[in-house]
Amino acid sequence: MRLHVLGTAAGGGVPQWNCACPGCTGARAVPSRRRLHACLAVELAPGRVYLVNATPDIGEQIERCPWLRPDGRRTPLAGVILTDAELDHTLGLARLREADELEIMATDAVRKAVGEGLRLDETLAPYVRLRWRDVEGAELLPVSGKRPRYARDFGDGQWVSALRIGGLVYAPAMGVWPTGFGDGADVVFADGTFWDDDEPRTAGFSSRTAIEMGHLPVTATRERLAALPARCLYTHLNNTNPLVDPGAPQHAELKGVEVASEGTVVEW
């Protein structure tokens, strides 16, 4: 199997439209520092490609992926796998309404949030039928019970998952490090939203810590990732994370864990 990295930023992207922090300013000045919202294209079988999460950048991301070129009116896009129901991972579903039918694999909690919270089943029904199913050929492992803010009244459930497909583990958000996380994997993408736990407060956009926002910071996971035999990469970087600047000294403190780049192809 193979994957193509189509986005590596947390909600807002880099640069974020209303932000002039150093990360956003740097990305405006140097186009190669720009990051689209975190997304993978995964080829589960020859010619059957799934997007992992449907971001606000999905149109551009599909165009950037050679495996997703349509042929006549046929597309290799077989469906979407959702790791959570956050807006940065679900708003792109509406962009796919030109399909006749759209297959979506997700947990029950995520399906309910998208259906009853965002009301996308009903809103999109005149355009496209959303065909929800449990994950097959992959596993969704719980990594946090954090609900999206729009779904705060929805109760407990498997809100945030790591996706495991054979030797691939993809966890763009992780509030906890589950027992055995990454064991036996060949490649692990992990939550790189924040550098340290205080970043949302020191950057001045939230009174909560990274962990209170449902994101283990890099400083809490880099040693554990470095200890895995797998190739490990951080993704879902917030624009305030110093790692968005390739010259930042923090890159030397990553213990061999990489920062994911868009366009990278990994086979496993």
**C-alpha–C-alpha distance, residues 109 and 96, integer Å:** 22
What does the block give as tokens for 190?
């992990």
Shortest Å, Cβ 214 to ligand MLT: 5
Among 43, 57, 88, 262, binds ligand MLT (CB under 6 A): 88
The SS3 call for residue 80 is strand
Scan residues 114-173 and list those touching ligand MLT (CB under 6 A): 173
Is 11 near ligand MLT (CB under 6 A)? yes
Reported in sequence order, the residue ranges of 184-241 that DSSP labels E, i.e. its strands, are 187-191, 231-235
Tell me which stretch binds ligand MLT (CB under 6 A): 51-59, 72-80, 86-94, 239-247. Answer: 86-94
Is 217 near ligand MLT (CB under 6 A)? no
Residue 229's region, left for phi above 0, alpha for psi from -120 to 50, else beta, is alpha
- The β-bridge relationship of strands 187-191 and 265-267 is unpaired
> Which one of Mn ion, Zn ion, ligand MLT, none is in contact with 21 (Cβ closer than 5 to 8 A by kind)?
Zn ion
**C-alpha–C-alpha distance, residues 22 and 77, integer Å:** 36
Counts for the chain of helices (H) and strands (E), in that order = 7, 13
> Which one of Zn ion, Mn ion, ligand MLT, none is in contact with 76 (Cβ closer than 5 to 8 A by kind)?
none
Among 213, 232, 244, 259, binds ligand MLT (CB under 6 A): 213
Is 15 near ligand MLT (CB under 6 A)? no
> Which one of Mn ion, Zn ion, ligand MLT, none is in contact with 24 (Cβ closer than 5 to 8 A by kind)?
Zn ion
Reported in sequence order, the residue ranges of the chain that DSSP labels E, i.e. its strands, are 2-7, 39-45, 48-52, 77-81, 101-105, 129-133, 139-144, 160-165, 168-170, 187-191, 231-235, 258-259, 265-267
Contact letters for Mn ion, residues 9-48 (x by CB under 5 A)? -xx-------------------------------------
Which residues sit at the interface with Zn ion, rule CB under 5 A? 16, 19, 21, 24, 239
Binding positions for Mn ion, rule: CB under 5 A: 10-11, 86, 88
